[in-house]
């Protein structure tokens, strides 16, 4: 399999920032994937998988390891009886399309989550009262020791979290769906998309929610809004004037700009509300937030 060197990851993140990966491979079969993991293992290099990069902040000086981007049969989605059987690299939008065409409901909540099946497992992605854990039956996870099927409990799925570690790749996933009339699915998706459009920046480069919602009466967004942070800008990055839990690439942002905004947001939330916000966005490379 072809291994490329120094591939700039800004092309693979929705915020459009991030430096190079030392090595980059696009496995299209389970065999390719095992080969890429063995290649990394022999060289002692860490491995990270990118999906759509929609929840990812990559350091400006990149990632000194192997980045995998699943394609081919590891990115397909098909319906089998009442199951959606998808590759880890399959886009959520494609999965929803397949489910709707087969009149199967349950995946509608993901219509506003612009990621892939594997990224959804990693984060237990969710919205509007549902999440991956609610519909996932099992996932095929591959690492240096080979492939194995894991249930949601074995994956340790909880609020925007799983127990997966770098180097563990979600190659496939089976979702359990239920029959639902196509018109109902379409109506639900239209309703959720309208809700999303009304509340969040939808035509900007972001990585989704910056922080997890804290155990507090205010959501992270409301808390940062109360701190007066809407529209606050550092370098090319700004806190969305629309929703304070989003950071936009306003103009040639670097990851360090976004990181500085996150540090400032955490500092202010701690000062004003005594809350230590925990980031939802995943860091890749040498990125660290200072203690509050
Ligand atoms: C506009 C916008 C709205 C969003 N709304 C929501 C929302 O409502 N709810 C929500 O939960 N999220 C939301 N997000 C965040 C993001 O879309 C989700 O977290 C999504 O599941 C990330 O998937 P991804 O494929 O883009 O993963 P990436 O961002 O590429 O990666 C995220 C993590 O998953 C890992 N990963 C990716 N693929 C695999 C794989 N195959 N195997 C193992 N690990 C893998 C990566 O290594 C990384 O650690 C939003 C993002 C944007 C930009």
Average pLDDT for 195-210? 93
Closest alpha carbon to 120 in 154, 98, 93, 82: 93
How far is the C-alpha of 54 from the C-alpha of 52, rounded, in Å?
5
Q: Which atom of ligand 1 is nearest to the CA of 206?
A: 53
CA of 117 to the centre of ligand 1 (A): 9
Over residues 2-16, the pLDDT tens digits come to 999 999 999 999 999
State residue 118's pLDDT score. Answer: 98
Q: Which atom of ligand 1 is nearest to the CA of 170?
A: 42
* DSSP states of 266-290: HHHHHHHH-----B-SEEESS--PP
How sure is the predictor about 269, in pLDDT bands with cuts at 50, 70 and 90?
very high
Q: What is the CA radius of gyration of the chain?
A: 19
CA of 249 to the centre of ligand 1 (A): 17
CA of 72 to the centre of ligand 1 (A): 19
Average pLDDT along the chain: 97
Probe residue for ligand 1, chosen from 9, 86, 125 as the CB with the greatest number of ligand atoms within 8 Å = 125
Average pLDDT for 168-181? 98
State residue 63's pLDDT score. Answer: 98
How sure is the predictor about 216, in pLDDT bands with cuts at 50, 70 and 90?
very high
Average pLDDT for 281-288? 98
How far is the C-alpha of 217 from the C-alpha of 227, rounded, in Å?
15
Give the residue whose CA is nearest to atom 40 of ligand 1.
Answer: 118
Q: 162 φ, ψ to 5°?
A: -140, 175
**DSSP character at residue 249:** E
HEC readout, 119-135: HHHHHCCEECCEEHHHH
Closest alpha carbon to 119 in 79, 87, 94, 80: 87
Probe residue for ligand 1, chosen from 55, 89, 156, 243 as the CB with the greatest number of ligand atoms within 8 Å = 55
Residues annotated as catalytic are 160, 209, 280
Average pLDDT for 46-73? 98
CA of 206 to the centre of ligand 1 (A): 12
| Residues having CB within 6 Å of any atom of ligand 1 | 14, 48-56, 70, 88, 112-116, 118-120, 122-123, 125-127, 164, 169-170, 206-208, 282
Average pLDDT for 27-37? 97
Q: Which two tokens stand for residue 25?
A: 């491979």
pLDDT over 90 at 1, yes or no: no
How far is the C-alpha of 225 from the C-alpha of 219, rounded, in Å?
10
Q: Which atom of ligand 1 is nearest to the CA of 124?
A: 11
Over residues 72-118, the pLDDT tens digits come to 999 999 999 999 999 999 999 999 999 999 999 999 999 999 999 99
Contact 13, 249 (CB under 8 A): no
The CB density around residue 61, as the number of other CB atoms within 10 Å, is 14
Helix ranges (H only) for 52-114 are 92-101
Average pLDDT for 169-184? 98
What percent of the chain has pLDDT above 90? Answer: 98
pLDDT over 90 at 202, yes or no: no
Confidence (pTM): 0.97
How sure is the predictor about 213, in pLDDT bands with cuts at 50, 70 and 90?
very high
Probe residue for ligand 1, chosen from 66, 206, 208, 210 as the CB with the greatest number of ligand atoms within 8 Å = 208
State residue 88's pLDDT score. Answer: 98
* Burial annotation 139-168 (CB, 10 A radius, 16+ → b, else e): bbbbbeeeeeebebeebebeebebebeebb
pLDDT over 90 at 226, yes or no: yes
How far is the C-alpha of 92 from the C-alpha of 95, rounded, in Å?
5
pLDDT over 90 at 210, yes or no: yes
């Amino acid at each position: 399999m072809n291994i490329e060197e120094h591939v700039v990851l800004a092309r693979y993140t929705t915020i459009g920032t991030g430096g190079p990966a030392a090595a980059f491979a696009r496995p299209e079969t389970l065999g390719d994937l095992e080969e890429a993991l063995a290649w990394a293992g022999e060289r002692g290099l860490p491995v990270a998988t990118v999906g759509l990069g929609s929840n990812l902040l990559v350091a400006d000086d990149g990632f000194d390891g192997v980045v995998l981007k699943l394609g081919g049969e590891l990115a397909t989605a098909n319906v089998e009886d009442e199951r959606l059987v998808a590759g880890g690299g399959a886009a959520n939008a494609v999965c929803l399309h397949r489910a709707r065409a087969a009149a199967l409901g349950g995946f509608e909540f993901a219509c506003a989550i612009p990621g892939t099946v594997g990224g959804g497992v990693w984060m237990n992605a969710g919205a509007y009262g549902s999440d991956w854990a609610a519909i996932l039956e099992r996932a095929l996870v591959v690492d240096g020791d080979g492939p194995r099927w894991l249930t949601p409990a074995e994956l340790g799925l909880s609020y925007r979290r799983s127990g997966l570690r770098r180097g563990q790749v979600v190659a496939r996933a089976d979702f359990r769906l239920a029959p639902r009339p196509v018109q109902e699915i379409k109506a639900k998706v239209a309703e959720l998309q309208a809700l999303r459009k009304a509340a969040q920046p939808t035509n900007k480069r972001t990585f989704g929610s910056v922080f997890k919602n804290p155990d507090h009466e205010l959501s992270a967004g409301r808390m940062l809004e109360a701190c007066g942070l809407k529209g606050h800008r550092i370098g090319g990055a700004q806190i969305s004037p629309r929703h304070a839990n989003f950071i936009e690439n306003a103009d040639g942002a670097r990851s360090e700009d976004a990181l500085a905004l996150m540090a400032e947001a955490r500092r202010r939330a701690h000062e004003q509300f005594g809350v230590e916000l925990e980031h939802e966005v995943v860091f890749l490379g040498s990125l660290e937030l200072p203690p509050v």
